[in-house]
Structures are given as structure tokens and as C-alpha cells.
């Protein structure tokens, strides 16, 4: 369940947007909409003091009947006290078992996956590649929006936000390394992430990726000193990206799934906010790599959904029909706090099968109650439709560009926590996946972290990732008429067979 943190707003914050002050002070605030006042998730309760609607303090901000204000829409107006809701699952996870005392930390490295929503790290024995401990937490940059474009826009609006986001990220990464290494310094650290996350990690402006022609400052493998970033690692290796929206998280996934060692076509898809995907045509079919990304939005990661949440304790992760009513399961079997991607796919599938929602996405009961005090709205369904349509259309255009059919695929790897936990039957029912043999579908978990760990063991893997990233051809979906047609087609749900 959520609890509240009491926060004192100092006089020095006068004229600063409340959400900005909270983020800079390191408080775990959520602003999925990027500060546009739409998601309502940054609401705080005013205990004492006042806030204003303008920086000059001349227009007072009036709390609602429950004493709440949206922190992204108001400015500090002198000393005040607020209550900030904090989700139980938003902090650092308990790390896995400590390695044997016989394992020297000097022989270990750390692999880090910087996801837009979640950070994950692993302590890796560099000799045999074994993962000794893991830990994860939500990305603290969520206070600047749930997706990369919101965070790029934040830097466009105020350059100071770049250093704030880097500071927030590095503080959390430092805390994660502390629990993994017990305060020891490791020799090497590999980092996977989408291009925007990698830029923010380095403190390099991502604004070039915010407008056409979407140009990153760097895409190649980048080597940094841990001292420069204040992290306990001698050398930090950022894995290469392909383009502005196909990052080191996906190139790391390529080696984790060993996709270029297949004879027949293989598709690797990360169903995150960016919808990154890479297709390998197969050794016997041209030995080519094609990559693309589609703006799926954060709906499948729980953001942008009115009662959505990440895969944290209390997240509704599974929904089934028991013959009489809907039944749900939550992460850690905790009381429900919201719904994450796998639960959302199950729920939408069941609404469709039970006739509570039609093929257009119209809900007979809006909002629809699916768990204790939790509901799904028509707007949530629209957000889901946009995400699933973008992903499905992107996969099919990538296959089309390579001259193959989804039926030709020998494997379709679905990376990330969503791929690991979602029911493939539900995903097929809602039209999220292309028409392909069900047996080729494989949820492969966090391949970004696994690939980064593999790169720690053998430097040759880094060279291979770099070479593959350079030869991967980027497919621009915004220039494809076929994508537009397919996107409109897949906004509809498949008809239910009776």
C-alpha cells in the first residue's frame, strides 16, 4: 500500500515549480505525463503553507476538496509542509544472496541496465561470467516524465534539468553498487541503455534526439572513468547504440540471445516505452540486420494508465476468469496498488473475450472495476491500443523491409520483464503479436542486463556488439506508408471467435 512522507518546503524554494524542487531534492515523485497536469500522479497534500499558480506568487493555487495539488502545476510560495505519497515498491530491492567470502571483489565487475522505467544491476564474476547478486529500483528520472521524449523535452525547456537528471541517476546507481559490492571498487562496469538514458548518464545533452533528424551525440562504444562520474568502478564501458532510438539495451540483447548465430530469421523485441526491435535475416538468408523503434508509449510499463504502476510490490500482474468473476494476482501477493503491463494485457484480453469491450475498444462499463479500489477507463484502453498497434505495425514493417513474413521467423524473442511474465495467449488475443507460429514466441527476460554481464567476461563480446551495431540498417517507420496503414488497422482488436 502507499504511505506518505512528510516534506518541509524551505523558503529558498520560492518561485520554483514544486515538482522540480522535489526532484532536485531527491524525493521519489512520479510524473508520467512529463509535467503536463494530465496523469495526476504527482499530487501532494498540503498540510500547511501555500503555493501559487505562477512563479511570481501573485496567483494563488487552490487545493481541491481533499487538500491536494498537482506539484507539476504549482510553484513554491514560501515555507510549507506537504505529504507525498510513496509506493512501497519504489525503493531499492533487497539484493540476492551475498557471494561466498572466497570470491574476491577484485575479480568481479558490475553490469548495469538503465531502463526508462527501471534500473537493474548485477555483480558478475568476470572469470566464469556467473551472476552473483542482483538488485533493481525504479528510475528516479520518472519525475521528469515516463518516456524519453518527456525527458528530452525537459532538457530543451531548461538545460539545468540535464544535470539534475544525471545527479538523480548517479545517486541511485551509486546506492545500487554499494549493496552489490559492500563498498568495494570493481575494475569494470558495463552499461546498457537506450541512447537517451546513456546520454543522461554521461551528462551529455540528448536534445539532438528530440527533433528531426534525431541525431545523438554518440552511438559507438564509449569508455569512461568511474572517478569522473563518482562511481566505484575503474573503467565504465557504455555499450553501443545503432541510432537515436535503438540503444545499447537492444545491442546487448543481441548477444544475450545470440541472434546472429541463427540460420533462419529471428526477431528480438523490447516492448518498453520505445518499442525497440532488431531483425536478423539469418545466416542462410542474407546475414543482414535491420532495426527500428516505435513510439509505443509507456502504457505497457504501467505508466500513462490511470491506475497503472511498474512491476513493483502490489502491482496486479495477472488476471484470470474463474468461471464466475475476474481473479487477480499481485507482485509479492501484496494488496493491489495498480496494474502493470502483464496484468493489463490479461485484463484487456478478458474484457474482449467476455464482451465487456468490443473490437473498437469501447467499454460497456466505464470505468471498469478490476481489483479492490482499482478501475480501468476508456482512456486507458486508448493508451493500450496505441501501444499495441505501434508495436505490432513496427514488427510487421521490419519483416516487410527484410523481405520476409512473420511466418518465416524461427524465433520471436520478447525481452524485458513484460516478455517474461505476460501470457502469450493474452498477447495474441489482443493483437499485440504478429500472426506467427505460437511455438516460436519466447519471453527472455532482461537480456540487456544479461548481455552487459556477458560483455564483462569477454572483451571480444564488446567488439562483436560494436561491429553488429555499425552494420545494422535502421528502418525509419515515419517514412513508411505501410506503417501508417498497419497502425490504423491494428488499433482495432481482433474479432472474438464464437
CATH of the domain at 43: 3.10.20.30
Better-scored residue on pLDDT, 429 or 97: 429
Could you tell me if 113 and 227 lie in one domain?
yes
pLDDT single digits (tens) 412-444: 999 987 877 889 999 999 999 999 999 999 999
Q: What is residue 498's predicted lDDT score, i.e. its pLDDT? A: 63
In a domain, 316, yes or no: no
Q: Report the domain count for the chain.
A: 2
The pairing of strands 276-280 and 289-293 is antiparallel
What mean pLDDT is predicted for residues 322-345? 92
Could you tell me if 76 and 149 lie in one domain?
no
Task: Tell me the CA end-to-end span of the chain in Å, nearest whole number.
Answer: 40
Q: Please tell me whether residue 168 adopts helix, strand or coil conformation.
A: helix
Q: What is residue 298's predicted lDDT score, i.e. its pLDDT? A: 76
Q: What is residue 95's predicted lDDT score, i.e. its pLDDT? A: 52
Q: Are 431 and 403 in contact (CB under 8 A)?
A: no
Counting every residue written for the chain, the total comes to: 498
In a domain, 468, yes or no: no
Could you tell me if 127 and 184 lie in one domain?
yes
In a domain, 45, yes or no: yes
pLDDT single digits (tens) 464-498: 999 999 999 999 998 898 999 999 999 999 988 76
Rounded CA-CA distance 474/16 in Å is 41
Of 208, 238, 268, the last residue of a domain is: 238
Of 222, 238, 254, the last residue of a domain is: 238
Rounded CA-CA distance 316/331 in Å is 7
Q: What is residue 121's predicted lDDT score, i.e. its pLDDT? A: 94
Q: Please tell me whether residue 424 adopts helix, strand or coil conformation.
A: helix
Could you tell me if 38 and 156 lie in one domain?
no
In a domain, 159, yes or no: yes
In a domain, 76, yes or no: yes
Rounded CA-CA distance 421/42 in Å is 28
Q: Is 355 exposed, middle or buried (0-12, 13-18, 19+ CB in 10 A)?
A: exposed
In a domain, 11, yes or no: yes
Q: What is residue 94's predicted lDDT score, i.e. its pLDDT? A: 47
* Residue 458 in this model has a pLDDT that exceeds 70: yes
Q: 392 Cβ partners below 8 Å, 6+ apart?
A: 431, 432, 433, 434, 486, 490
In a domain, 409, yes or no: no
Q: What's the pTM?
A: 0.82
Q: Is the peptide bond before 213 cis (omega within 30 degrees of 0)?
A: yes
Could you tell me if 120 and 46 lie in one domain?
no
Could you tell me if 211 and 112 lie in one domain?
yes
Could you tell me if 120 and 219 lie in one domain?
yes
Q: What is residue 1's predicted lDDT score, i.e. its pLDDT? A: 42
In a domain, 225, yes or no: yes
Rounded CA-CA distance 486/75 in Å is 44
372-395 burial: b if 16+ Cβ within 10 Å, else e: eebebeeebbebbbbbbbbbbbbb
Could you tell me if 145 and 39 lie in one domain?
no
Could you tell me if 53 and 112 lie in one domain?
no
Beta strands (DSSP E) in 126-169 are 131-138
Q: Which three cell numbers stand for residue 347?
A: 485484463
Rounded CA-CA distance 403/412 in Å is 16
What mean pLDDT is predicted for residues 170-184? 93
Range of the domain at 112: 105-238
Confidence of residue 400 (pLDDT cuts 50, 70, 90): very high
Percent of all residues in the chain with a pLDDT value above 70, rounded to a whole number: 95
Could you tell me if 16 and 70 lie in one domain?
yes
Could you tell me if 110 and 188 lie in one domain?
yes
Could you tell me if 7 and 53 lie in one domain?
yes
Of 210, 238, 266, the last residue of a domain is: 238
CATH of the domain at 188: 3.30.420.480
Amino acid at each position: 500500500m502507499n504511505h506518505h512522507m512528510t516534506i518541509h518546503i524551505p523558503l529558498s524554494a520560492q518561485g520554483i515549480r514544486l515538482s522540480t524542487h522535489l526532484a532536485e531534492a531527491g524525493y521519489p515523485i512520479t510524473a508520467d505525463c512529463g509535467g503536463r497536469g494530465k496523469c495526476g500522479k504527482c499530487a501532494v497534500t498540503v498540510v500547511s503553507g501555500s503555493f501559487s499558480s505562477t512563479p511570481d506568487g501573485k496567483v494563488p493555487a487552490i487545493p481541491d476538496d481533499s487538500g491536494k495539488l498537482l506539484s507539476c502545476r504549482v510553484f513554491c510560495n514560501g515555507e510549507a509542509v506537504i505529504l507525498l505519497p510513496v509506493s512501497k515498491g519504489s525503493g531499492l530491492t533487497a539484493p540476492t544472496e551475498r557471494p561466498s567470502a572466497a570470491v574476491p571483489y577484485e575479480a568481479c565487475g558490475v553490469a548495469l541496465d538503465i531502463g526508462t522505467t527501471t534500473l537493474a544491476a548485477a555483480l558478475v564474476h568476470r572469470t566464469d561470467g556467473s551472476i552473483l547478486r542482483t538488485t533493481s529500483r525504479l528510475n528516479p528520472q520518472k519525475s521528469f516524465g515516463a518516456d524519453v521524449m518527456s525527458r528530452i523535452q525537459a532538457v530543451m525547456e531548461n538545460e539545468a534539468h540535464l544535470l539534475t537528471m544525471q545527479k538523480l541517476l548517479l545517486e541511485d546507481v551509486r546506492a545500487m553498487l554499494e549493496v552489490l559490492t559492500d563498498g568495494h571498487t570493481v575494475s569494470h562496469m558495463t552499461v546498457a541503455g537506450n541512447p537517451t538514458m546513456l546520454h543522461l548518464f554521461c551528462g551529455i545533452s540528448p536534445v539532438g534526439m528530440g527533433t528531426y533528424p534525431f541525431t545523438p551525440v554518440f552511438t559507438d562504444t564509449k569508455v569512461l572513468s568511474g572517478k569522473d562520474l563518482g562511481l566505484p568502478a575503474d573503467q565504465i564501458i557504455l555499450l553501443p547504440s545503432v541510432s537515436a532510438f535503438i540503444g545499447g539495451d537492444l545491442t546487448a540483447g543481441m548477444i544475450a540471445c545470440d541472434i546472429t548465430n541463427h540460420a533462419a530469421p529471428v526477431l528480438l523485441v523490447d516492448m518498453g516505452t520505445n518499442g525497440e526491435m532488431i531483425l536478423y535475416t539469418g545466416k542462410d538468408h542474407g546475414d543482414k540486420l535491420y532495426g527500428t523503434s516505435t513510439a509505443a508509449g509507456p502504457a505497457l510499463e504501467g505508466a500513462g494508465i490511470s491506475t497503472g504502476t511498474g512491476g513493483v510490490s502490489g502491482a496486479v500482474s495477472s488476471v484470470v476468469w474463474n468461471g464466475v468473476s475476474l481473479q487477480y494476482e499481485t507482485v509479492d501477493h501484496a494488496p493491489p496498488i495498480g496494474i502493470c503491463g502483464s496484468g493489463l494485457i490479461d485484463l484487456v484480453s478478458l474484457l474482449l473475450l467476455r464482451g465487456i469491450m468490443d473490437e473498437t475498444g469501447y467499454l460497456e462499463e466505464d470505468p471498469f472495476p478490476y481489483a479492490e479500489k482499482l478501475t480501468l477507463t476508456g482512456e486507458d484502453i486508448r493508451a493500450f491500443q496505441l501501444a499495441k498497434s505501434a508495436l505490432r505495425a513496427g514488427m510487421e514493417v521490419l519483416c516487410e523491409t527484410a523481405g520476409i513474413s512473420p511466418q518465416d521467423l524461427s524465433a520471436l524473442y520478447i525481452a524485458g520483464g513484460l516478455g517474461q511474465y505476460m501470457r502469450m495467449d493474452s498477447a495474441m488475443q489482443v493483437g499485440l503479436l504478429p500472426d506467427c507460429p505460437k511455438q516460436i514466441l519466447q519471453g527472455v527476460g532482461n537480456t540487456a542486463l544479461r548481455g552487459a554481464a556477458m560483455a564483462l567476461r569477454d572483451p571480444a563480446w564488446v567488439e562483436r556488439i560494436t561491429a553488429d551495431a555499425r552494420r545494422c540498417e535502421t528502418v525509419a517507420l515515419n517514412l513508411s506508408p505501410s506503417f501508417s496503414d498497419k497502425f490504423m488497422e491494428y488499433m482495432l482488436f481482433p474479432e472474438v471467435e464464437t
